[in-house]
Amino acid sequence: MRKVVIAAFAIALMTVFSSAAQADEGQVSDNALAAIGLGDMQVMDDVEASEVRGQFALVAGGSYAVFNGFFGSSASANGYIAGGGTSAAGANFSTAGNFFGFGVFAGGFSAATSN
């Protein structure tokens, strides 16, 4: 489970820090569009594109913590998902441990918002 969480976190970081593709990169040629019956297509300007660009955002995440000790075991699993509008964000925290030899504890929180 720990490897899955680490892999998911690494993928999320790569996604966040990767650069956004520009519309003019890898633009399909007129001949290629014509070959699939879309030869009359025209490139739209930024004003037209802004009417449909960025109309939805989605974010999801989760965390898991486990403690196995002499006085018992505890675990906490938390997750969030938010979507809609033009931006979405979330935060997550999980903890589990031993309380000075008197027992074990687990807890955490998740929060998400979109607009």
Query: Domain residue spans in the chain?
Result: 2-114
pTM, two decimals, is: 0.43
Percent of the chain past pLDDT 90, that is, above it, reads 0
Q: 65 is written with which tokens?
A: 């913590």
**Structure confidence by residue, pLDDT tens digits, 35-74:** 888 888 877 888 887 777 767 778 888 888 888 877 778 8
Residue 22 has pLDDT above 50, yes or no: no
Residue 96 has pLDDT above 80, yes or no: yes
CA angle 38, 39, 40 (to 5 degrees): 95
Residue 113 has pLDDT above 60, yes or no: yes
Residue 1 has pLDDT above 70, yes or no: no
Which residue pairs from 16-25 have beta carbons closer than 8 angstroms and sit at least 24 positions apart in sequence? 23/49
The amino acid at 16:
V
Position 19 scores a pLDDT of 43
Q: Which residues of 32-66 are buried (b: 16+ CB within 10 A; e: fewer)?
A: eeeeeeeeeeeeeeeeeeeeeeeeeeebebbbbbe
Position 9 scores a pLDDT of 66
Q: How far apart (Å, rounded) are the C-alpha atoms in residues 70 and 66? A: 14
Task: Specify the 3-state DSSP secondary structure of 38.
Answer: coil
Position 14 scores a pLDDT of 62
